[in-house]
Chains A and B, each alone.
Chain A
Amino acid sequence: MKILILLLPILVACSSRMPFVRSEYQVLHVDEFIVSNAYVHPTQIERDEIHLSFSYRVIIKNQMNFSRKLDLANSTIMIGLRKIPISCKALSHGSIKFEMKAEETLAVDCLVKVNKGEGIFQVSDYKAIIEVPLEKKVAQFPYLLRAEDFQ
């Protein structure tokens, strides 16, 4: 009985999924914005019966000396040829459409929620692309989705 109690933590740990790293560190210079993904949790992904979900935080700096408008409504994750909408908002004020002042830096939090049906026939791992729209161009970040994530 004592041995079983001592072994219990090991058994519990072994039964959880392997925490694979899914995100690569990147600092991009796109559309005169600097964008960093240093605060993305590299392994955390939630699964329930229907969805996969994870959060993705990027830090954006407006490099120009004038203010610029951002609209995050068209943020997406691209899996294969399909673009699936994701929800992105500015961390400090929760807005989707806002103006960034000259040389301002702020954090954008994206919640990515994907129906498992999107990859139900998937047998291979896939590098999905998270797209965050800037003023004229899009910042793109790869995110690894494994075949077993959709099962």
Chain B
Amino acid sequence: MRHFYLIFLLFSTTLMANSYYHTPLVFGGVAATAGLGTQAAIYHSLMQTELKGWSRPETGSSIRLESACGIEAEFHLVGDHRRNYLLLGITNSSAKNVVIKNNAVTFRLDKTKERYPGFTYNSSDNRVISGWWSINLIPFPSKEEFRDVKEIEVQVPVIDEASGEQCSLTTHFNKTKKIEAENISYSAFEFSLDGGGAIEQFGNIRRLGRPRGMAAFEFNFFPRPQSGFGLVFSNEAGFQDSDKKNIHKKFDGAESYSANISYLGFQYVYRHFFSSEFFLQYAIGPGYQSVEDGKEEDLGRIESRGLAFSQKLVMNWRFFQWYAPSGETIDIFTGLGLVHFYTPSMKIGGEHLDGHRVGGLLRVGVSF
């Protein structure tokens, strides 16, 4: 039951954090009236997600203002951990109703490469009635392209609804500084399950025997592409010694006994991407460990709790990527690795249990 609550806590934390992290861009792609509530959405989107690598010192932002055919437009570059976007605000001060064709917006990169938007869902045209305004969020096809690009020219076709005549709004963005997080598509939330077995033990902990197996689950949050933090819970169960001896003399000779070690810890995580599919992950941190020893009811159980440390090194392979209709990208990955637990000082029933435990693990995880 205790384990169930911990799993629920870790998973629900993932969902809440994801909801908060993506809220500012949820309104995108929909024509809006001049409602007071939308000012908040625009402001918070800009404050939290505007690309600082494209900002100008005169404005402290990426904003560009343009006007043509009675239409005023403002352009911003914004992004989240997965995609970069053009945030386009259109104010129709003309006497005509106009249509913005989102799919016909073009991006000219460094005057050489022309790209169309990277919508992963069916986007409709935006009709902007005379006197009204509209905010559109138009995704770039690739975030990684931003690494080498220094200039982006944007062209937005605006069509007179009545006559079909086309007018074009054009602007230019120039990169002012390189910010790596704006050029890499990465997952921000990760939830993984590990299973494995013991490889070796060192120190007094050997007296507890070797566990039959280990299971663990983790939730990690990455505010930056390469570093993050998280929570880990693991359980090693079924410690057994080959000659049926235990560190507690009263358990000696018992037909069977078992011990299990539970660990709940906080960790710092670093990951290195070799490619978009392969990444190496290293996690380290302190935790709280509980050792329970003994089995048969008439002999009782003994518990001890204390500080411990863990570190993990896992080589991961993202083998599947799913694009949800909502626009979310979900990665499924697997990995192989090593885990090391260190107990600096622990006693149980008067016996020392300090030492190191090293195990191997197989991982399955999901991230988004």
Contact = CB atoms under 8 A, between A and B. Distances in A.
Q: Do A and B come from one complex?
A: yes
Interface of A: 21-29, 34, 36, 38-43, 59, 61, 63, 91-92, 104-107, 144
A29 B72 contact: yes
Contacts, number: 90
A98 B156 CA distance: 32
A45 B36 CA distance: 16
B67 A34 contact: yes
Nearest to A43: B40
Interface stretch (B51-59, B101-109, B313-321, B347-355): B51-59
Interface of B: 34, 36-40, 42-43, 46, 56-61, 63-67, 72-74, 76, 89, 91, 93, 133, 135
B58 A38 contact: no
A42 B61 contact: no
| Contact residues of A: prevailing secondary structure | loop
B62 to A, nearest CB: 11
A22 B76 CA distance: 23
Contacts of B46: 38-39
A92 to B, nearest CB: 5
B89 A38 contact: yes
B67 A29 contact: yes
13 contacts: A25-B38, A25-B133, A27-B72, A36-B74, A38-B89, A39-B46, A40-B43, A42-B43, A59-B74, A92-B58, A92-B60, A105-B59, A105-B63
B36 A24 contact: yes
A61 to B, nearest CB: 4
B67 A36 contact: no
Contact of A27 (B38, B39, B76, B133): B133
Contacts of B59: 59, 91-92, 105-107
Contacts of A36: 63, 65, 74, 89
Given A38-B63, A38-B89, A25 B58 contact: no
Most buried by B among A27, A29, A61: A27
Given A23-B36, A27-B72, A59-B63, 8 more contacts: A26-B133, A29-B91, A34-B74, A36-B63, A38-B74, A41-B43, A59-B65, A105-B64
A144 B133 CA distance: 20
Contacts of B64: 105
B16 to A, nearest CB: 15
A91 B91 CA distance: 25
Most buried by B among A25, A107, A144: A25
A105 B39 contact: no
Nearest to B37: A21
A98 to B, nearest CB: 11
B39 A23 contact: yes
Contact of A38 (B34, B37, B43, B67): B43
Contacts of B39: 21, 23-25, 40, 42
Nearest to B73: A27
Nearest to A37: B39
**A-B CB proximity, top 5 nearest:** A61-B65, A34-B65, A27-B91, A42-B39, A21-B36
Contacts of A106: 58-59
A40 B38 CA distance: 12
Most buried by A among B59, B64, B91, B133: B59
B65 A107 contact: no
B64 to A, nearest CB: 7
A39 B43 contact: yes
B134 to A, nearest CB: 11
B91 A105 contact: no
Contacts of A39: 43, 46, 61, 63
Nearest to A92: B58
Contacts of B65: 27, 34, 36, 59, 61, 105
A34 B63 CA distance: 12
Nearest to A109: B60
Contact of B66 (A25, A34, A41): A34
A24 B135 CA distance: 13
Contacts of A27: 65, 72-74, 89, 91, 133
A41 B73 CA distance: 20
A78 B133 CA distance: 25
Contacts of B89: 25, 27, 36, 38
Given A21-B36, A25-B42, A41-B43, A63 B67 contact: yes
A146 B65 CA distance: 32
Nearest to B40: A42
A81 to B, nearest CB: 25
A62 B56 CA distance: 16
B34 to A, nearest CB: 6
